[in-house]
Structure 1
């Protein structure tokens, strides 16, 4: 398999995804996964593709840059590291997802403080969204982590450390299993 991960950064505007995916299609790439977002007016896109066997990451990057020349896109292409079957890297407990949300006044280092606690307990952050609008309105500053918790972790100790840090920093914190969150918020 020749899987590549492609990152695209640019000032947001209509047509970025159309341009990049059309160029990838014309290169013979099969799009497998996409995640894109807009952060303060900046487009950030992540694409995982299966490229033809003869396409190197360098060749795909060169063609994409040539095709988008002058469009203000920053493009990087890398070989996707995938575990070899049976290597042990693909084994193990992927964990159950817990949603950890904090709400409160913005302070420098919030993400660093909470992610360090999660890392110290071997939690894996699989998704993070932090929106800091500044000011003193607590509802304007929200961090939402999705954390994979495995059976071999001391999850209660991690949750307690997170609650203690939130209390110290004057933040509200909510911790719940993703399944419960999904059931409560089902429309």
Structure 2
């Protein structure tokens, strides 16, 4: 039994998920983790699947997805690494404000400096409003008030607002 990471990227159209997952099911692969979204009209999906099919066999089966040139598909074997319980505490980080370069790198850099790990991140641009929503795991030793102060300072320099709050279990 092996695990493979599969990405499907390109112009959105109805049926991409159905077609991709049907091809994987036909190979006897079990879909263990996925993330799918639209990014400015472009479809983006990452899956981690487990099963007995080889990388070459999976890539061959998925070739029909990219036949018309509108989608790009990659397949890569990955080690079997099951996520254990988070070592830290879960938090939700939000940023909103005028769009500009450097928002993501600056804010997640502040989190990384204290050993925090971003486990999920979504950004959206709606007109001139930029919104970032991230789930982060913070080490239990982090001084959360000091981290909030550092995030506030970074946000002020960027001209955006930021919040960091403990995540409720049912939110994740």
Normalising by structure 1, we get a TM-score of: 0.81
Match of 2:59 in 1: 61
Structure 1 portions without partners, runs of 5+: 85-89, 183-187
What SS does the corresponding residue of 1:174 show, helix, strand or coil? strand
Q: Is 1:166 equivalent to 2:159 in the alignment?
A: no
Q: Which has the higher strand share?
A: 2
CA deviation vs aligned residue, 1:1-26 (integer Å, no higher than 9, x gap)? 31111111121110000110111111
Name the CA shift for 1:48/1:92 in 2 (closer, same or farther; >3 Å): closer
Match of 1:94 in 2: 87
Q: Contact 1:12–1:38 (CA<8 Å) still a contact in 2?
A: yes
Name the CA shift for 1:72/1:93 in 2 (closer, same or farther; >3 Å): closer
Match of 2:111 in 1: 118
- Tell me, in whole angstroms, the C-alpha distance in 2 between the residues paired with 1:40 and 1:83: 31
- Tell me, in whole angstroms, the C-alpha distance in 2 between the residues paired with 1:45 and 1:9: 6
Q: Contact 1:105–1:134 (CA<8 Å) still a contact in 2?
A: no
What count of residue pairs does the alignment treat as equivalent? 171
Partner residue of 2:121 out of 111, 118, 128: 128
Match of 2:47 in 1: 47
Name the CA shift for 1:128/1:79 in 2 (closer, same or farther; >3 Å): same
Match of 1:185 in 2: none
What SS does the corresponding residue of 1:113 show, helix, strand or coil? helix
Match of 2:20 in 1: 20
1:181 Cα deviation from its structure 2 partner: 9.1
Structure 2 portions without partners, runs of 5+: none
Normalising by structure 2, we get a TM-score of: 0.87
What SS does the corresponding residue of 2:7 show, helix, strand or coil? strand
Match of 2:132 in 1: 143
Name the CA shift for 1:160/1:150 in 2 (closer, same or farther; >3 Å): same
What SS does the corresponding residue of 2:70 show, helix, strand or coil? coil
Q: Contact 2:89–2:138 (CA<8 Å) still a contact in 1?
A: yes
1:158 Cα deviation from its structure 2 partner: 2.2
- Tell me, in whole angstroms, the C-alpha distance in 1 between the residues paired with 2:4 and 2:98: 40
1:91 Cα deviation from its structure 2 partner: 6.7
